[in-house]
Structure 1
């Protein structure tokens, strides 16, 4: 049986104001391709200057991905807020997506970021709502 973990991290974004949209699009594109190969699903959002990402996958692949993030110049102050073993993916159809910026659920994300919540269920709910079509 393959183990699955789910984690949420936040980091401070190091993006130029004029390049933020392009850099986020690049992150989503590269992540979608790489993560599909290793079985990682997730969602990325940027709120102000804070990246938040929920990831699901094998513990080893998540550890490797988190190590890679420490060498990505677009992130600093990376903190894993919550991590737990899961029986099945909560978001099996997700690739790496970015939320619609006008979505009303972003207020929940802002509250969770401000609190640095360790409740992974709250993150799942808020990120799922922010990515809903």
Structure 2
């Protein structure tokens, strides 16, 4: 989770402010905000998993995990893009904030989708087995 949050907030910070003198401090504060959101992400993953299981009851576990991963990637990245943009650009201009949020979300989306697919197909099933035992 730390690797995911660190890499995604790094991409988002770079998109918002570029690589300059304050990049590392901006990235670190955005990363710490993402770490605070991680427990909410785990709770959200459980809720989405239940919803997808009810919505797609006749599909195999891999397909449901891929759907869960895609939805999770979009939702968590949206939240991380919001907190990173708020941290780096602030709310002084709503147009700048919205543009920064959208660009950082779209720039990090391919990486987020790739990481969530790997997590959904490898880590998530192991966590579910552990919780069932």
User: Which bin holds the TM-score, normalised by the shorter protein?
Assistant: 0.3 to 0.5
Q: Which has the higher helix share?
A: 2
Q: Which has the higher strand share?
A: 1
Q: What is the TM-score normalised by the length of structure 1?
A: 0.34
Larger Cα-atom Rg: 2
Q: What is the TM-score normalised by the length of structure 2?
A: 0.34
